[in-house]
Amino acid sequence: METGPDSLFVTLLLLLHSSHSESEKFEVLGPTDPIVAVAGDDIILPCYLKPNISAEDMTVDWLNLDFKDGRVYRYQNRKIIREDQIPSYIGRTSLFKEELWRGNTSLKLTRVQGTDEGRYKCFIKALSWYDDFTIQVLVKAVGSKPVVSIEGHREGGMGLLCESEGWHPEPELAWLDSKGVHLSAGPPETHRDFKGFYRVKQHVIVQETNTNRFTCRVQQSRINEKMETEVHLPSELFDTTPWRISFIVLSCLGAITVIGLSLAIYCICIKKEDITEKLDELRKERGK
């Protein structure tokens, strides 16, 4: 076994490397409960090192695990790396740089939108050690008060349309009568915009009742929110007699017009024939 200067030097290097590796070991910690964010607000996703060693010379990656290649933010070599960042996060993410020296790697996310909902990973890497922590973010957005419009007579009843937008998560829409009983309606239509907010609408055909009051309700159970709009339809709207009279009158006027034009054309043709005959007679008389 060698005990010379070379062996002693190698041993010291190994001890120093081992000591340095041990000093770099850390845990990445954060909240265990989901973070509920209100759309339009700014939020902070907590993440920090234990022990509170400096992260200034480390790589800090924030990823949205619900995106493929989902980089939200990267700090490396003491600067921000903007390549491969998810476009919707550009200009909305930042670290607290003045807090990096004590291991605070929390992310600030501004102007929260529907597409921000998901699982976020805080990944910290040193030269010889790394660790990560995952945070769940839920987005809450209460949409607009339902707008009800009258579409006119439909299949023996009155057609109504209800629309509401700006919801997250996706809400449910229902039509109710004056007693709160659900009405049979058409299939709901749902659309999601580029920010991840939902717009819903649904058609219904209602029959005349004692009250003629109907309610459109839009609700989202997860966030325990709902919006309602009640509409009252005058009984006159359900009376189809004026419509029938108008139709009959218009039909009669149309028939009279057609008959009148036919008679006029017939008379013109008769007169034309008479004139032609008289001209022929005059020519014959002159020819004699």
Rounded Cα gap, residues 35 and 112, in angstroms: 12
Strands (E), 196-247: 198-206, 213-220, 225-232
Rounded Cα gap, residues 270 and 276, in angstroms: 10
Rounded Cα gap, residues 97 and 237, in angstroms: 66
Tell me the pLDDT tens digit for each residue of 220-236: 999 999 999 999 999 88
Tell me the pLDDT tens digit for each residue of 121-153: 999 999 999 999 999 999 999 999 999 999 999
Query: Within 13 Å and on the Cβ side, how many CA atoms surround 211?
Result: 10
pLDDT at 69: 82
CB burial string 111-131: b at 16+ within 10 A, e below: ebbbbbbbebbbbbebeeeeb
Q: Chain-centre distance of CA 50, in angstroms?
A: 39
Bigger pLDDT: 79 or 256?
Answer: 79
Residue with the two structure tokens 């007693």: 179
Contact 200, 189 (CB under 8 A): yes
Work out whether the CA dihedral 100, 102, 107, 111 comes out positive or negative: negative
Rounded Cα gap, residues 249 and 260, in angstroms: 16
Tell me the pLDDT tens digit for each residue of 66-86: 998 889 999 999 999 988 999
Q: Give the pLDDT band of residue 14 (cuts 50, 70, 90).
A: very low
pLDDT at 70: 87
pLDDT at 30: 97
| φ/ψ (deg, to 5) at 48 | -155, 165
Q: Which two tokens stand for residue 228?
A: 């309602």
